[in-house]
Chains A and B, each alone.
Chain A
Amino acid sequence: MSENQRAAGIGASGLVLEEPLLWERGRPGRSGMSPPRPGVPAAALPPELAGSGPDWPDLSEPEVVRHYTRLSSWNFGVDTGLYPLGSCTMKYNPKINEKLAALPGFAGAHPLLPEEAVQGALRLIYELEGFLAEIAGLSAASLQPAAGAHGELCGMLMFSAWHRRRGGGRDKILIPDTAHGTNPASAAMCGFREVKLPLGPDGILEAGPVAELMDGQTAGIMVTNPNTLGLFESNLPAISRLVHERGGLVYADGANLNAIMGRVDLGKMGVDAAHFNLHKSMSTPHGGGGPGAGPVAVGKELAPFLPGPRVALRDGRYVWNRDPPLSIGRLHSFHGQFAVCLRAYAYILSLGPEIRTASGLAVLNANYVREKLRTAFDLPFGRRSLHECVFTDARQKKHGVTTLDLAKRLIDLGYHPPTIYFPLAVSGAMMIEPTETESREDLDAFVAAMLRMADEAEREPEVLHRAPIRSLAGRLDETAAARRPRLTGDMGVGHA
């Protein structure tokens, strides 16, 4: 930490630049790229088909470069600073993985090339599926799902297909209060009705309510372990036994896998299917909203139902197994988010079995922050947490300061806010997940910023109400945005 930072008690400061909308720049006739020179005679579409093409603005190359460079300066990424967004695992995204994904052999590979052309790509898919199954403690995996929610959908499609094969008739699914909203939405896309499962007093699930609710119309259960409070679901083996005894299946949402890699065995816990968020635990960049990847690992029972086609190894060559008979079919235009999977493959090889250490340090960092902040902020659950910790604004509320105010003030102090108001089961929740790639000094500085806010809440709450003041934009009017949605800009006359 520099002296200036120490004096100001902040993590960042910077120059704020103005930049108009894309079409407020440029002039018709400019160009930001070399026009093609095909060297063949011109052809034309018949007049009834011919249109005028999109009326996008014309900009020169330097204008395009300046536009996006300036926009980028308004963004905060994990390369910028600590990004403790709970349940999102914003760990460092290694640069080498970007370089490897851009290798022309991979980046230029057409997905419909014949098997003999793409042995290197098929090997990557085959091996990564094996690595993920090994990390999960399950027997097989598919890389087709394109994101976490897509992995959940894949899981629910497999549940549905498995039950249909056994006579069907199950249209309910148990989902705890702490689940991500994607869980019930994914289940609903497969026609399952959500049955809410209450939490026990410790913030984790208990077998009792499952015994009560798991009936012959229920397809199974979706759990997140560790759950969204950062607590390990230690009753899961007993719950899984119950669900299986009554003819159901167990799905584990892998959003929080970063806490437990190399330490738990999902197979032993009775999990039938689980997804990985490669853009979380496996370090691939989230890109401001994807593309991620949500590969699904399964136990023996569901392995035949995985999406197809699947890569197989026969006589030392990788081949496509195009029509696995029980497969739920295809979930992606081609073979999944290959370039994202490639980065995850590189990450796993970089760490090898030491990936276990990533989880150990992630949990250490979260507990360190939890310990340092518990004197100033309310902790709703007393149990030790794993990779993230959840506080509330109960103490600050007495001074009229809410979680939202704390989050916005944290921006002024140079940090990305934690996940706020989630899980819904906790009022005014602040879910902090530092990840293993933060140093102790950076955690200390973050803790100092949090403690400073707790102090400000008592002494000068208006500072928090006003925040943020150092970012380009102040608090934005989300109500107005939703009331009269304006999703596209008016390009105006110049570009018509």
Chain B
Amino acid sequence: MTFRYFPHTADDIREMLAAVGVDAIDDLFADIPPECRRDRPLELPGPLDEWELTRRLEEMAAAAGGDWRVFVGGGSQPHRIPALVPALAGRSEFLTAYTPYQPEISQGTLQAIFEFQTLVARLTGLAAANASLYDGATALAEAALMAIRIRSRRQIAVSGLVHPHWREVLDAYLRPLEGTRIVTLPPGADGRTNLSPLGELPEPAVLILQSPNFLGFFEDLRTAGEAIHAAGGLLAAGFSEPFALGLAKNPGELGADLAFGEGQSLGIPQSFGGPGLGLLAARAEFLRQLPGRLVGETIDNRGRRGFVLTLAAREQHIRRARAVSNICSNAGHAALTAAVFMAACGGSGFRKIAQANLDLAEYFKAGLLRIGFEKISGLPTFNEFALRAPAWFPARHAALRKRRVLAGLSLAEYYPEYPGAWLFGVGETRDGADIDRLLEELKP
């Protein structure tokens, strides 16, 4: 048997077995009792060589949807990725390393993640960010658990306009924890969260909002923060589109104690929704309650600046059952990729891209309104927006699907309280001409 990933020749195997003192590889498994052994061969396809494998995967990729023209975000946003991002992040010194347990030979990862934490803290306007979580949904769930720990309270108020999938994840995380209760604040007629039920909630640990929310509308974070702070809870402000923070006030400025979000827009391919990049940041006083890895600055024994994983006393490998979270592997390489992307944009470039997203979305929205769509609300939006569709639209939408165009996402399944509502999104991967073309294709 020779296979390109295995260096062993028949002679190697024979000599190594002799050194170990057994006759055959199977003898090395002698400690495994027969009742544990597999009694039939593995039924798997393959082995395929590199070229057979490529052909099979190319065929599957051709039917995986990457060539569709998509005018929807919904928590996964197409953005341009400069060539330098995958070229640098893909360097195998970064890609093929483990979690940096040995800092002396992991300074590349460690400095890059320290820089990532800094860039995320500046993006969110909060003092500290962790080294990443899995995705936006798990970042939300961890923010909720963090607030429960900080406030020693078990009531969670979450806006019904937070991404529906993210709320499902929160629900799955909290279901087995006795005494915790999730109260969902209903969507208001204006497309923003109705905060009035908050007053009836005894001892809330946290109010969780997303802004822009799933319908694309900016929430009034400042008012929400004042309300939850008056009730003794924290404000956790989320986002599924970090580019919104290129133009809008950030969560820290608006009074948030915690910020969570999905960072996929920052140079990470959509890849059918994973891996994403969970972002989590907090005010300085809550730093020791942050879950997951944290990189901190220190010095080495020669007095040089260097970086290490720090505050490990919070973590599972030290505290076991009393850890702040079970997180071990996070989304480290996605975080590094995002850092390269943020470095390539710079503050100035990020703002320009954000501006282009707003411009294109407003142009798209105006075009849809011209052909018969109606506003749900006059509130401002960023690069996604929900509109009420005219009666003819679903048939046109279906027809365009046959031409590999996804012209919006029906909200009927998620928000029956907004009948006929559809979600649209557009970003800098399109231009005005693309939108004109779509509007032409959409006309009844």
Contact = CB atoms under 8 A, between A and B. Distances in A.
A191 B68 contact: no
A113 B82 contact: no
Contact of B36 (A40, A77, A236, A349): A236
Nearest to A42: B359
A246 interface: no
B95 A93 contact: yes
Interface stretch (A60-68, A210-218, A395-403, A453-461): A60-68
20 contacts: A39-B431, A53-B246, A56-B342, A73-B108, A79-B92, A103-B66, A111-B274, A112-B75, A119-B63, A153-B173, A189-B177, A268-B36, A287-B97, A334-B76, A334-B276, A337-B275, A338-B273, A349-B53, A358-B5, A487-B287
A264 B38 contact: yes
Nearest to A283: B5
Give the most central of B8, B19, B335, B353: most A CB within 10 Å.
B8
Interface stretch (B186-194, B198-206, B264-272): B264-272
A161 B172 CA distance: 10
A80 B93 contact: yes
Given A147-B329, A491-B122, A471 B104 contact: yes
A402 to B, nearest CB: 15
Given A285-B333, A478-B310, A190 B176 contact: yes
Nearest to B435: A40
A333 B32 contact: no
Given A137-B38, A368-B16, A149 B316 contact: yes
Contact of B168 (A147, A189, A289, A330): A330
A150 B382 CA distance: 33
Contacts of A390: none
A491 B406 contact: no
Contact of A49 (B21, B218, B274): B218
| Pairs A-B, 8 closest by C-beta atoms | A334-B273, A289-B332, A287-B333, A352-B46, A111-B273, A105-B61, A108-B66, A77-B96
B428 A149 contact: no
B294 A371 contact: no
Contacts of B56: 349
Contacts of B316: 149, 180-182, 184-185
B236 interface: no
B416 interface: no
Interface string A178-206: 00111011111111011000000000000
Interface in B331-371: 331-336, 339-340, 342-356, 358-363
A120 B64 contact: yes
A62 B28 CA distance: 52
Interface in B152-208: 163, 165-166, 168-169, 171-173, 175-178
Contact of A339 (B57, B178, B269): B269
Contacts, number: 753
Contacts of B16: 364-365, 368, 440
A408 interface: yes
Contacts of A358: 5-6
B439 interface: no
A120 B62 CA distance: 7
Q: Of A85, A106, A180, which is in contact with the most chain B CB atoms at under 10 Å from its CB?
A: A106
Nearest to A354: B47
A108 B78 contact: yes
B122 A194 contact: no
Interface string A21-60: 1110010111111111111111111100111011111110
A291 B175 contact: no
A151 to B, nearest CB: 10
A67 B123 CA distance: 21
Given A54-B122, A481-B298, A285 B308 contact: no
